[in-house]
Amino acid sequence: MSRELAYAEAIREAIDLAMARDERVFLFGEDVGLYGGAFGVTDGLYQKYGPERVRDTPISEAIIAGVATGAALTGMRPIAEIQFMDFITLSMEQLVLQAAKLRFMLGGKVEVPFVLRTPAGAGTGAAAQHSESLENWFVHVPGLKVVMPSTPADVKGLLLASIEDPNPVIFVEHKLLYRTKGVVPEGYYTTPLSQSEIKRSGRDLTIVATSLMVMRALEAATKLAAEGIEVEVVDPRTLKPLDPAPIIQSVSKTGRVLIVHEAVKTGGFGGELAAVIAESDAFDYLDAPIRRLAGLDIPVPYNRELERRMVPQVEDIVAAARRLVREAR
């Protein structure tokens, strides 16, 4: 059976199910215990599982990543939280040089199974140091997996799959998605990592979007349908390892593709997606150039209107899609 849950509730339910199922699973991070997390995501878990399995930590991202790595090496299944993705920068050595590489350096004799949850993205008025989307930094690191769910059902299934995975997983949650609601199956289930999904079918244009931009792309598609433009929306869900097949098949069908993400355009995941498409058989079916719509190459402003203009909005996606369809005719 299914019922409607908020994105944050789906995360909490996944953690609860994993902790009840496997005593090796424990949760730790800044304010995840008594306070219930900066965004209330882990509320109630401390009361249910106690201070041994739900642990508040000092404000030290390097220590959080190091403890996750060490605990995973000893057979535990840690779920760590970095309160804002911006400060994942302080844990880079542990994640990039230790967690990502130890399994390979030791010839596969160890596993490093942990999930590092981290809220990301702009839109809350939190300014330059609490609003970034840095997912592509980790896509570039062999040995790490990177997941960016867009719906409550996906976030639950993908989180449970990430907890089961024998590798370190960077699990990116957009802050503006926490209160969004959707139908979520009851009970324990996993959504396979590396499985892109078509969120809406269409014939005129493919939009490949990540995280919050999937929701905005779907809203834009509804508006464009009123103009007779049928948009297909594809959500990679897992950025690494990427499942390119549904993307390539969609672009081959529509002949046009718009890639949308919130992270700044330069060095963003959109460039990787564009390369995947250009190097595939879909290239021969393109009727227009591959286009990208992404965040501006500036720090996230504190001013709310400037912050809004910095990242793609629904109207920006509509305008970019409309131009792309027209230039191909």
DSSP 3-state assignment of 68?
helix
Q: Which residues partner with 5 through β-bridges?
A: 182
Q: Collapsing DSSP states into helix, strand and coil, what is residue 325?
A: helix
**Cα separation of 278 and 287, whole Å?**
13
> Which residues is 28 bridged to in the sheet?
55, 80
Cα separations in angstroms, 178 against 129, 243, 310: 20, 25, 21
Close Cβ partners of 183 (under 8 Å, ≥ 6 residues apart) = 2, 3, 4, 152, 153
Going by C-beta distance under 8 Å and a sequence separation of 6 or more, which residues neighbour residue 35? 56
Asked about 130 being catalytic, the answer comes back as: yes
Helices (H), the chain: 7-21, 45-49, 61-73, 92, 102-105, 135-139, 152-164, 212-225, 245-254, 269-278, 304-310, 314-327
Helices (H) and strands (E) in the chain, counts: 12, 14
At 122, the amino acid letter reads: A
User: Which three-class secondary structure state does DSSP give residue 219?
Assistant: helix
CB atoms within 10 A of CB 218: 20
Instruction: Please tell me what DSSP assigns to residue 328.
Output: T
Q: Which of 130, 140, 174, 261 is the catalytic position?
A: 130
State how far the alpha carbon of 109 is from the alpha carbons of 76, 94, 97, 102, in Å.
16, 19, 17, 9
Q: Which residues, in sequence order, are CB contacts of 109 under 8 Å at separation 6+?
A: none
Supply the residues annotated as catalytic: 130
